[in-house]
Amino acid sequence: MSRIAEAFADGPAFVPYLAAGDPDYESSLAYVEALERGGADVIELGLPFSEPIAEGPTIQSAIVRALEAGMTPTRYFEFVEDLAVDVPLVCMTYYNLIYQFGEGGGPDDFVRRAAEAGIDGFVVPDLPAEEAEPLREACDEHGCELVFIVAPTTRGERLERIMSQVSGYVYVQARLGTTGARTNLSDRAAESLERVAEWDVPKAVGFGISTGEHAQRVVEAGADGVIVGSALVDIVAQGVERGDPAVTVASRLEGKARELKAGALRGASGNERPHPERT
Partner 1 sequence: MSSHTGKFDEYGGQYVPEALMPAIEELEDAYERYVLDNEDGFMDEFRQRLADFGGRPTPLQRADRLSERYDAEVYLKREDLLHGGAHKLNNALGQVLLAKYMGKDRIIAETGAGQHGTATAMACAHLGMPCEVYMGRRDINRQRPNVFRMRLNGAEVTPVTVGRGTLKEAISETMRDWAENVEDTHYVIGSVVGPHPFPAMVRDFQRVISEEAREQTREKAGRLPDSVLTCAGGGSNTMGLFAEFVDDESVDLYAVEAGGSSLEVDEAEGVAPNSATLSTGTEGILHGSRTRILQDGDGQIMESHSVSAGLDYAGVGPELAALVDRDRVTAVNVGDDGALAGFHRLSQLEGIIPALESAHALGYVEDHHEELGEVILVNVSGRGDKDLETVLEETHDRDIEGAPDMDTFESTGGF
Catalytic residue among 6, 26, 36, 55: 55
275 lines the binding site for partner 1 (CB under 8 A): no
Q: Check if 116 is active-site.
A: no
Catalytic residue among 33, 36, 44, 254: 44
Side-chain half-sphere CA neighbours of 173 within 13 A: 18
Stretch (H or E) spanning 31? helix 25-37
Map the footprint of partner 1 across residues 133-172, applying CB under 8 A: 148-155, 158, 162
The length of the chain, given as a count of residues: 279
The residue type found at 252 is R
Candidates 234, 148, 220; CA nearest to 187 is 220
Q: Check if 55 is active-site.
A: yes
- Closest distance between partner 1 and the C-beta of residue 57, in Å? 8
- Closest distance between partner 1 and the C-beta of residue 72, in Å? 5
Stretch (H or E) spanning 97? helix 95-100
274 lines the binding site for partner 1 (CB under 8 A): no
Angstrom distance (rounded) from CA 120 to CA 270: 31
The residue type found at 43 is I
Work out whether the CA dihedral 171, 208, 36, 46 comes out positive or negative: positive
Map the footprint of partner 1 across residues 62-101, applying CB under 8 A: 64, 67, 72-74, 94-97, 99-101
Map the footprint of partner 1 across residues 202-261, applying CB under 8 A: none
Q: Which is nearer to partner 1, 11 or 199 (CB)?
A: 199
| Footprint on this chain of partner 1 (rule: CB under 8 A) | 49-57, 60, 64, 67, 72-74, 94-97, 99-101, 105, 125-128, 130-131, 148-155, 158, 162, 173, 176-178
Catalytic residues: 44, 55
